[in-house]
Amino acid sequence: MYRQDDVQFVGVLNAIRRGEQRPEHRALFSDCYTGRDVEVPGKPIKLRPKNDQAQEINEREMEAIPGPPTVTDSCVSRPSPEHLPR
């Protein structure tokens, strides 16, 4: 979750991953719920507590994309935590 800058959100996700959900965690997500059906382009994000669960979904979704893979160049704008000095 190194991409998340919201400390409170990361804390809630970590609590869910550890099975330590509390009412205030549910409240954080409930505050985002509008009660309206909203058309959103694409598929909703699926939160999973473990990397292997997320990886399984990612692989399944990638396999569903029609056509051959396309390779593109990329540029890293900031290093990931595992590349930062400790």
Full residue range of the structural domain in which residue 17 is found: 1-32
**C-alpha separations of 65 from 30, 60, 62, 68, 70 in Å:** 33, 9, 5, 9, 11
Segment 36-64, tens digit of pLDDT: 777 778 877 777 878 898 899 999 999 99
Report if residue 78 sits inside a domain: no
Report if residue 22 sits inside a domain: yes
Report if residue 40 sits inside a domain: no
**φ, ψ for residue 34 (rounded to 5)?**
-95, -15
Task: Please compute the mean of the pLDDT values over residues 69-74 and round it to a whole number.
Answer: 89
**C-alpha separations of 82 from 2, 20, 46, 79 in Å:** 10, 26, 24, 8
Distance from C-alpha of 54 to C-alpha of 1, rounded to nearest angstrom: 12
Report if residue 26 sits inside a domain: yes
Number of folded domains that form the chain: 1
Q: What pTM does this model have?
A: 0.49
